[in-house]
Amino acid sequence: MAPPAIEPATEARPAAPEIDIYAENARWMALAAERRFDEAIDLCRATIASPDTSFMASLFLGYAAAQTGRPADARPHLRTARKLNPSDYYANLLLANVESALGNRHEAIVYYMHCCGLPVDSVVEPFEAAMTLAKAQVDSADGNALSALFDELSARDRLPELLTLKFLFYWRRDADLARRLAHAADGKGETKPSFRRIRSVAAWTREEGQPYVRLGEPASIRLVAPTEDYAGDPQEKHVLASEPYIAEVRDATIVGNSSLVYLGDHDIVSDVLAHPQYGIQVSLDYDKTVLAQRSDALLLAPLPAPAHLAEGIMLSGLASNAYGHWFAEFLPKLRHFEKHPRFEELPIVVDADMPASHFDFLATLVRNPVHRLERGAALKVGCLHLAPTTTFFPVELFKDHTVPPEDQASWTAEAMRYIKEGVARSHALAPERTRRLFLSRKNSAWRILRNEGEIIEGLRDLGFETIFLEEYDFARQVRTFGEAEFIVAPNGSALNSLIFAATDVKTLILGQQNSFNWGGWLGPMLDLGFEPQFMEGEATESTSFKHSDYVVPADRVRAKVLAMLGS
């Protein structure tokens, strides 16, 4: 009989050291604070053998993935964290943020609402986030649930006044909003936010019996798609400009750097917001007077005490400090205002913080007195004179808008000719036009030609000089274009100044694949006798993003310039 097997002796092993999870979490967060997320994740996984059994590890891994732009990776970690600790505020909040980033609106709203029921100091962040997601469908199940939560939180005084007003506004609880606004002002003697309906100039003046004079029929605008071969294969269409008019509104209030006109106690006048087709797609995110916006009305910030002006022409407004808007949106209105029999004596209201060159441009065209309106300041005008933009001319559209390019801010040959001839009265073309110019956009904040330096270097031996128009006063800008034989430029508002050059100037415009509304610029320029050529590059971001940076091969640019020179 075989002897029994000898069992190996059991070796004593030291117990695994207990982990101080809070100290470890502090180490992970310290790395994350330095944006060293990959190191923090590796350290977390090395420390916690099974992160899905640890609330702190799951929460951190979800947080780190979300912070590095990976919501799909963050989601399972955060779901685990919430399962392990359902009442943790940050687990619910981070999961809601991730669901929102993934486009899961309902799930995000549910988690945001759950946050609002947890014992925390403030519920403003999750409630506002839920409101933002649900406001497009206030009558949905989510919208109704959020409305019930609002009533509960409001009764407990858990929401600040401004958030309360915004919710009532978005959910169209207008009677409640009106009572709230009236109560806010009782006995305090302070200005308060206002709830105002959107009206067009024509509708307001008609109903109030105030002057509105039509100045003829809308012009037909020639749109030509600015392709590289538009001359040989023109893609043309025509659209109508705005109806030309001049109007007068009584006892109006305007605010510096806003295009809105306050009338009476309950109305706001804006042709762009009241546009019958596209007004609901206009975003006022850049207008600091607007607290909340919906298709028919605005919730507006309290107005400061206004200064007073007996009478004036409105040439102030949102984005007037941007050259493209000043040139194409604001100055063309002057040709309408000039039809007024007392035009020359009427003061023109403009925004005080525009560049000095804008004021010089205005003074070149007209000699009227100027009233400068400071940013955010209010001005009460006894008789305010208004005129339309050349076309529907929004500063910004919502990201998901459906406005076709041909209906986004076009020009007319008549408007361009008005400016061209007005400037030519005091700035004649140079007798010799020999300069070759490259107009740099290096200092711009968007739509940057990424390889601009390479292109400049490739044109240097051909006699091209690089200029930065933003550094020039207005007279020098006009003189520079008037001296040009050849202009190469990335697309941008500086090219409006091409009208100050001779019509036979050689021009090569560089841009990304999509032309957006440049067809409404090219058509009128062709009508004036200019024949610019175009070269398409490749966008570095989405091709549907108007302000995307882009690249145009430098060798192609040089070859095209040589061909245009006949070399």
For 167-203, the pLDDT digits (tens) are 999 999 999 999 999 987 555 556 789 999 999 999 9
The predicted-structure confidence for 108-133, as pLDDT tens digits, reads as follows 999 999 999 999 999 999 999 999 99
Q: What is the pTM of this model?
A: 0.89
What pLDDT score does 305 carry? 96
What pLDDT score does 544 carry? 62
What pLDDT score does 233 carry? 84
- HSE toward the beta carbon, residue 436, CA cutoff 13 A: 12
224: enclosing H helix or E strand: strand 220-224
What pLDDT score does 473 carry? 94
What pLDDT score does 110 carry? 98
Query: For 393-529, where are the E strands, in sequence order?
Result: 435-439, 464-467, 484-490, 506-511
What pLDDT score does 13 carry? 43
Please compute the mean of the pLDDT values over residues 8-23 and round it to a whole number: 61
State how far the Cα of 489 lies from the Cα of 494, in Å rounded to an integer: 9
- HSE toward the beta carbon, residue 455, CA cutoff 13 A: 30
What pLDDT score does 194 carry? 96
Using only C-alpha atoms, what is the Rg of the chain?
A: 31
Alpha helices in 428-473 (DSSP H): 452-459
| Beta bridge partner(s), residue 324 | none
Q: Which amino acid is at 313?
A: I
pLDDT band (50, 70, 90) for residue 14: very low
Percent of the chain with pLDDT over 90: 85
Chain-centre distance for alpha carbon 567: 43
The predicted-structure confidence for 207-230, as pLDDT tens digits, reads as follows 999 999 999 999 999 999 999 988
What pLDDT score does 292 carry? 97
Residue found under tokens 């100091």: 121
Six-digit token string for 467 = 């200029």
Mean pLDDT over the full length of the chain: 93
Asked if residue 534 has pLDDT above 50, the reply is yes
Asked if residue 1 has pLDDT above 70, the reply is no
State how far the Cα of 309 lies from the Cα of 305, in Å rounded to an integer: 13
Asked if residue 252 has pLDDT above 60, the reply is yes
What pLDDT score does 545 carry? 62
Q: Which amino acid is at 408?
A: Q
What pLDDT score does 367 carry? 96
State how far the Cα of 215 lies from the Cα of 336, in Å rounded to an integer: 8
DSSP string, 228-297: TTTTTS--EEEEE-PPPEEEEEEEEEEEBT---EEETTTEEE-TTTT-TTTGGGB--TT-TTEEEE-SSE
What pLDDT score does 17 carry? 58
Query: For 389-475, where are the E strands, in sequence order?
Result: 435-439, 464-467
The predicted-structure confidence for 405-428, as pLDDT tens digits, reads as follows 889 888 999 999 999 999 999 999
What pLDDT score does 400 carry? 87
What pLDDT score does 185 carry? 58
The predicted-structure confidence for 25-38, as pLDDT tens digits, reads as follows 999 999 999 999 99
Alpha helices in 102-243 (DSSP H): 105-116, 124-134, 141-155, 161-170, 174-185, 201-208
Please compute the mean of the pLDDT values over residues 446-472 and round it to a whole number: 93
Q: Which amino acid is at 402?
A: T
The predicted-structure confidence for 288-307, as pLDDT tens digits, reads as follows 999 999 999 999 999 999 99
Percent of the chain with pLDDT over 70: 95
Grouping H, G, I as helix, E, B as strand and the rest as coil, residue 311 is strand
Six-digit token string for 110 = 């549910």
The predicted-structure confidence for 263-280, as pLDDT tens digits, reads as follows 999 999 999 999 999 999
Chain-centre distance for alpha carbon 354: 18
Q: To 10 degrees, what angle do helices 124-134 and 141-155 make?
A: 150
What pLDDT score does 18 carry? 79
pLDDT band (50, 70, 90) for residue 6: very low
Asked if residue 538 has pLDDT above 90, the reply is no
Chain-centre distance for alpha carbon 346: 33
State how far the Cα of 139 lies from the Cα of 136, in Å rounded to an integer: 9
